Structure 1
Amino acid sequence: MSVRSRTTLFTALALAAGLSLAAVTPALARPSTPRAAAVVQGDARNATQHVADFYGAYIDAVWAADDKAAGAEAKALRAFYLSPSAQKKVTAYEAQEHADGILFAQNVPVRWQVAYTGSGAGHATSQVTLTWSDGPRAKVTRIDVQSDLRTLKITDLRPAG
């Protein structure tokens, strides 16, 4: 094989490898799941958004079990987002059931979602959906959450029936 033939062959191989890498790189940069949002936004005046903010931050805090600040963070989140009566209800549940009174479980979900379900008498209701694993047979639980429309504090939460 002549030098020119080898040079042409190596150039073609390098070009093919470069084009393959260029085609694969954007696919690798995309989020791993089709549900992942490119943009996240919120509204500090929205009761359902407030519930979503709480559950997102709370799950992050309890998920980080190896972080020494996580326990204090979870406690602070409860104090900020829950009314005093809701805090007492959560504490009573935890004492009786030996499980987290926010998640109604002993472990931490991998995903969560919050949906507005109605309002009236000065309160908004939302339903939190917790997903506990990945795959087609992932376990899902739901929690009904009531919030005060004036203060946005969570006033009640209970497993959805």
Structure 2
Amino acid sequence: MSVRSRKTLITALALTGGLTLAAVTPALAGTAASHTPRAAAVSGAQGDPRNVTQHVADFYGAYIDAVWATDDRSAGDAAKALRAFYLSAATQKKVAAFEKKEHADGILFAQNVPVKWSVAYTGSGAGHATSRVTLTWSDGKHPEVSRIDVQSDLKTRKITDLKPVR
């Protein structure tokens, strides 16, 4: 079996395991700063693998889950596998360069992990779609938020660029 085939298989297994776990585990709406789970009523969830904005939402949801799980040894490998699956090769290099220079996560543009996230479609053209990711960093009446514009290729659905919104 070639190295590429093995990497693809490992990535697929990691993603399948994570998705399976998500499907059989009660939904967690969020956690307090102490990483204590809070259960919340969820009326349901759905998705469409053909939808580019949904693809971005799937990535950010799984990625944040992986980097939040600091007590799980497999979380780092899961985050790497998610990057390999969802980001184009050029974007992976750009993220790595940002991280080396800024000493911060190049997906979240921060050194910590948000407590909530949301993704919205903002437009498309020239074979790409743009989604805006809103990251919420605290709870309360006036939570701190940041935003990232994420560009995706409409054909491959791979994330091709990430830019913090200033």
Matched residue count: 130
Matched, 1:88 2:123: no
**Cα offset for 1:158?**
1.0
Which residues of structure 2 form unaligned runs of 5+?
Answer: 1-28, 31-37
For 2:116 and 2:101, the matched residues in 1 are separated by 26
* The structure with more helix, counted as a fraction of residues: 1
**Cα offset for 1:81?**
0.1
For 1:71 and 1:83, the matched residues in 2 are separated by 19
For 2:92 and 2:163, the matched residues in 1 are separated by 12
State the AA in 1 paired with 2:48: D
TM-score, length-scaled by structure 2: 0.75
Matched, 1:114 2:119: yes
SS at match of 2:77: helix
In the TM superposition, what are the counterparts of 1:1-161 in structure 2 within 5 Å? 37-161=42-166
TM-score, length-scaled by structure 1: 0.78
Find the structure with the greater CA-based Rg: 1
For 1:69 and 1:89, the matched residues in 2 are separated by 24
RMSD: 1.7
For 1:83 and 1:36, the matched residues in 2 are separated by 35
Moved beyond 6 Å, runs of 4+: none
**Cα offset for 1:36?**
5.9
Query: Against the structure 1 CA distance between its residues 73 and 154, is the aligned structure 2 distance closer, same or farther, given a 3 Å change threshold?
Result: same
**Cα offset for 1:107?**
0.3
For 1:91 and 1:125, the matched residues in 2 are separated by 21
State the AA in 2 paired with 1:50: H
Deviations 1:117-146 (A, max 9, x none): 000000000000000010012100000000
Which residues of structure 1 form unaligned runs of 5+?
Answer: 1-30
SS at match of 1:119: strand
SS at match of 2:132: strand
Deviations 1:50-88 (A, max 9, x none): 000000000000000110000000000000000001001
SS at match of 1:59: helix
